[in-house]
Structure 1
Amino acid sequence: MSTPTKNGPAGLAPLTTGSVMRHVIVMSATGWIGLVAIFVVDFLNLFYIAQLGQQELAAAIGYSGAILFFLLSFAIGITIAGTALVARALGAGRPDDACRLAASSLVYMGGFIGVITLLLWPLLGEALTLLGATGITHGIAMDFLRIVLPAMPLLAVGMALSGVLRAAGDARRAMHVTLAGGLTTAVLDPLFIFGFGLGITGAAIATILSRVVLFWVGWHGAVTVHKLVARPRLADLITDARPLSAIAVPAILTNVATPVANAVVTAAIARFGDSAVAGYAVIDRLIPLAFGGLFALSGAVGPILGQNLGARLYDRVRRTLTDCLIVTTIYTIAVWAGLFLLADHVAAVFGVTGEGAELVRFFCRISAGSFIFVGALFVANASFNNLGFPMMSTVFNWGRATIGTMPFVWIGAAHAGAIGAAGGFALGSVVFGALAVVYAYRVVGRIGAPAATTSQRGG
């Protein structure tokens, strides 16, 4: 079995010493760069396709993105499980267990996403119809997905490798994984779309090649450099499937709630025409770029919580939650201010007009502020997943996706069209984000209480 290299002053668990806020900022910043690189793939596809001047193409990318994000949500859930278990093992000083768990998580990821991809393949047409795609837009989206979908397992395993690197506290190499994929797309997208004249087919090909690069860089960092992945063994896979599933299944259910909620909003907006759908597609790509720091923060908090939980440093666990919420608030306010000022420019750059342009401007000026609470929900979910309460993240995310989405979106759409639907979605996020944070602090208090009691008795 491979033995991982030491990393940082604390050896195998560098996140258990030093400033918690510094760890939060470093892990989040590097995670943000890497995570945004994943979404840059979709963003650049939409940007370059928009330059072709055919609104149906942009709408097709929007519908395709909703389906791909559904699969990505499964991958994120499994990555959360692998990262949490590897980080805990390292924090507890059990490197051999960390290597074994890393290997099992990669096999688990590849097999699970491969099966889901196969099951989804014959249902693509029905899925697009359910989302509201029709006519030419439906056909274009089908062509794009048929090329891109088979490469999803490769992207998923690459994400899992990045998670292993984060679990070890190697924020820089974890960043390199997804950054490499984004840079590949930045170079190849214009080449295939315009240079070779392949249009949306070229965008799909560039996406696949970017995933190949992402996987290779992750493999090099986790396996070659850190030696953090043992050789998979069937007995280990069977043994590790249970703890992985205990976190992955609730995390998957948690993450699937987001695309389900997005699908509800997309379907509601589709009633107002391709212009509105194209506008929402722009918002869908703008969110990861503008608020990628919040997505990264939820990924960064996991290894910090995991290592400190493994080392039984409960005060640092609570401090991590507080510092993450501080960073979330400051970051969101800064981004919101920038979007407010650039609202008209964003709509113009992507060529959306009419109701689609109004929808983009509304998001930039009003509903972007709700991401203070969306970010708080992300942080709370990460806390639940890494501290042994994964079902609570499922409860809060599905609460947001159902009670916090459907009635708000339907009422908003009925009274204010596409803008009302988007506004309703934002309002539901405020309610459930606030509730999740309150409960997250209760969970941290519950974990630390036995340790505090033992300490008092010892004194």
Structure 2
Amino acid sequence: MGEVRPPDPVAPTARFVTGSTLRHVVVMAATGSVGLMAIFVVDLLSLLYIARLGDPVLTAAVGFATIVQVFAVSINIGMMIAVGALVSRALGRGDVGEARRLAASSLVLSLVASGLVTALLLPLLTPFLTLIGANPETVPAARTFLWIALPSSLLMALGMGFSGVLRAVGDARRAMNVTLAGAAVTAVLDPLLIFGLNLGIEGAAITVVIARLAFAWVGYSGAVRIHRMVAQPSLAAVLTDAGPILHVALPTVLTNLAPPVASAFLAHVMAGFGTETVAGNAVVDRVVPVAFGGLFALSGAIGPILGQNWGAGRFDRMRAALRDAALVTGLYVATVWLALVVARGPLTALFGLDGAGADLLGFFCHAGGAIWFFNGLLFLGNASFNNLGFPLTASALNWGRATLGTMPPALLGAHLAGPEGAMAGMGIGSALFGAIGLALAFRVVGVLERREAAASVEVAGGRCVGGETPRLETD
């Protein structure tokens, strides 16, 4: 095989600093949605296959196992955001060498973080599952699933890291292919292992491992073999880069741990209403990413666009990108909300839900659009803070929503109106924090613009010692 020529250093990589911001937002979000939706759809099918085994305990077990896995995946997402933020910023400045070094160091740190979290969670599975509401019948099945699937979080860390690099350079198609590869493997292997080989819940877990292996390999092919955007890692570089990377990654990881805490709390509340409600909540947890996966993709799309334009000093384009992303959020949620209302009956029948579980899914289909519109605004705000050097703001908002915006209103709602009231209470908290998040995102852009203007005045006035450009202090 001939040598693959690396891309030109600036022109093909800092592509978001010119052209229509709306087009960039739509293209990045659409391609990201395809990959994410594929993953979420096959995850939903996996739960459907388990539900078809006819044992509600297994359906509930997969739901609880998913909550535990989300904690591990949240670490990987936080590191992926750090990779994208730092690499896109370096590319916006035209420094491809720094971008490649930061990508390599970030991937090493991602592996270390994922390994530590996995090693911490595995021996604590039983008490953790019990804490979030799993009963003695459900714990063994959930634990079996996690002992197989959880160690593959390291493969997920690599795949997400490579995907972050590809998004930072603006290669939306190859970033999409990373997630499509995992989805394709899952779609083929899940029915084969669960039913064909009669492995049940163990087959679903084995599929997770193989899918994540494909995820990592396709990401490596795009980021390393084609773009050559990952340098050879070295201990010296990792130690040098650890400070800047962790400055972004640690608050970002903290931010991404808040949603699973909120989900775990809600699962605990739902567990008090019986197994049918828990099964219904497990279905809602899988329907949410399929229905609203575009919002996750949209928040991932806005980060590199903001990062490159910040590096290039284009604050007007940063504001335009935020406005365009908010508009796309509203249009997307309105479309999905209508589809959920229409599909309420078929979804309930498909998963064989009755009683309280069917009622909870029906309520979600009618109210979910309102809740997730504001969640989408909060996602946009958090993506802005994480990519523009204000990760602690994202942490504060996400943890505010996961605690003050979730726990008191969910408990009050559960007391007044049962499981549906708990879900509605959480939605009220989402509305408050979503509106605040987007407003603060625009304010952050203004703060950065004023700081750069002040730094330019200092340079022009000759107060910059030794030719150094003043650095922006954030958070």
The question of a shared fold, defined as TM-score above 0.5 by the shorter chain, is answered with yes
Residue 321 of structure 2 aligns with which residue? 320
Verify the 8 A CA contact 2:39 2:183 in the aligned structure 1.
yes
SS of residue matched to 2:142: helix
Residue 450 of structure 2 aligns with which residue? 449
> Which residue type is aligned with residue 348 of structure 1?
A
User: 1:3 deviation in Å?
Assistant: 8.7
User: Deviations along 1:140-159, whole A, 9 cap, x unmatched?
Assistant: 11111111111111012101
Report the identity percentage.
52
Residue 408 of structure 2 aligns with which residue? 407
Verify the 8 A CA contact 1:161 1:218 in the aligned structure 2.
yes
**1:194 and 1:435, CA in 2 relative to 1: closer, same or farther beyond 3 A?**
same
Alignment partner of 1:365 is 2:366: yes
> Structure 2 matches for 1:23-422, cutoff 5 A?
23-422=24-423
Take 1:367 and 1:206, find their aligned partners in 2: how far apart are those partners?
Answer: 30
TM-score normalised by structure 2 residue count: 0.93
Take 1:266 and 1:360, find their aligned partners in 2: how far apart are those partners?
Answer: 14
User: 1:314 deviation in Å?
Assistant: 1.1
**1:22 and 1:456, CA in 2 relative to 1: closer, same or farther beyond 3 A?**
farther
Verify the 8 A CA contact 1:4 1:95 in the aligned structure 2.
no
Take 1:260 and 1:3, find their aligned partners in 2: how far apart are those partners?
Answer: 45
Take 2:6 and 2:426, find their aligned partners in 1: how far apart are those partners?
Answer: 44
SS of residue matched to 1:352: coil
Take 2:372 and 2:437, find their aligned partners in 1: how far apart are those partners?
Answer: 14
Take 1:261 and 1:73, find their aligned partners in 2: how far apart are those partners?
Answer: 13
Verify the 8 A CA contact 1:367 1:423 in the aligned structure 2.
no
User: 1:52 deviation in Å?
Assistant: 1.1
> Which residue type is aligned with residue 388 of structure 2?
L
Verify the 8 A CA contact 1:100 1:236 in the aligned structure 2.
yes
User: Deviations along 1:296-322, whole A, 9 cap, x unmatched?
Assistant: 011111110111111111111111111
**1:320 and 1:68, CA in 2 relative to 1: closer, same or farther beyond 3 A?**
same
Take 1:10 and 1:103, find their aligned partners in 2: how far apart are those partners?
Answer: 22
User: 1:39 deviation in Å?
Assistant: 2.7
User: 1:450 deviation in Å?
Assistant: 4.1
Residue 471 of structure 2 aligns with which residue? none
User: 1:453 deviation in Å?
Assistant: 6.7
User: 1:12 deviation in Å?
Assistant: 2.2
Greater mean deviation of Cα atoms: 436-445 or 181-190: 436-445
Take 2:427 and 2:231, find their aligned partners in 1: how far apart are those partners?
Answer: 44
Take 1:331 and 1:107, find their aligned partners in 2: how far apart are those partners?
Answer: 36
Verify the 8 A CA contact 1:3 1:99 in the aligned structure 2.
no
Verify the 8 A CA contact 2:337 2:368 in the aligned structure 1.
no
User: 1:426 deviation in Å?
Assistant: 1.1
User: Deviations along 1:239-292, whole A, 9 cap, x unmatched?
Assistant: 111111111111111110000011110000000011001100001001111100
Take 1:4 and 1:110, find their aligned partners in 2: how far apart are those partners?
Answer: 26
Take 2:78 and 2:346, find their aligned partners in 1: how far apart are those partners?
Answer: 35
> Which residue type is aligned with residue 279 of structure 1?
G
User: Deviations along 1:20-56, whole A, 9 cap, x unmatched?
Assistant: 0000000001111112233334322201111111111
Verify the 8 A CA contact 2:334 2:369 in the aligned structure 1.
no
**1:456 and 1:246, CA in 2 relative to 1: closer, same or farther beyond 3 A?**
closer
> Which residue type is aligned with residue 393 of structure 2?
M
Take 2:24 and 2:6, find their aligned partners in 1: how far apart are those partners?
Answer: 21
SS of residue matched to 1:291: helix
SS of residue matched to 2:404: coil
Take 2:37 and 2:74, find their aligned partners in 1: how far apart are those partners?
Answer: 15
Total equivalences in the alignment: 456
Which structure 1 segments of 5+ residues have no match? none
Take 1:240 and 1:147, find their aligned partners in 2: how far apart are those partners?
Answer: 33
Residue 5 of structure 1 aligns with which residue? 7
SS of residue matched to 1:135: coil
Verify the 8 A CA contact 1:10 1:17 in the aligned structure 2.
no
**1:422 and 1:397, CA in 2 relative to 1: closer, same or farther beyond 3 A?**
same
Which structure 2 segments of 5+ residues have no match? 461-475
User: 1:404 deviation in Å?
Assistant: 0.4
> Which residue type is aligned with residue 169 of structure 2?
A
**1:251 and 1:327, CA in 2 relative to 1: closer, same or farther beyond 3 A?**
same
- RMSD of the alignment, in Å? 1.7
Take 2:223 and 2:264, find their aligned partners in 1: how far apart are those partners?
Answer: 35
Greater mean deviation of Cα atoms: 446-455 or 335-344: 446-455
User: 1:451 deviation in Å?
Assistant: 4.7
**1:448 and 1:4, CA in 2 relative to 1: closer, same or farther beyond 3 A?**
farther
User: Deviations along 1:424-452, whole A, 9 cap, x unmatched?
Assistant: 11111001101111111111111122456
Take 1:394 and 1:286, find their aligned partners in 2: how far apart are those partners?
Answer: 26
User: 1:166 deviation in Å?
Assistant: 0.3
User: 1:368 deviation in Å?
Assistant: 2.8
Greater mean deviation of Cα atoms: 31-40 or 175-184: 31-40
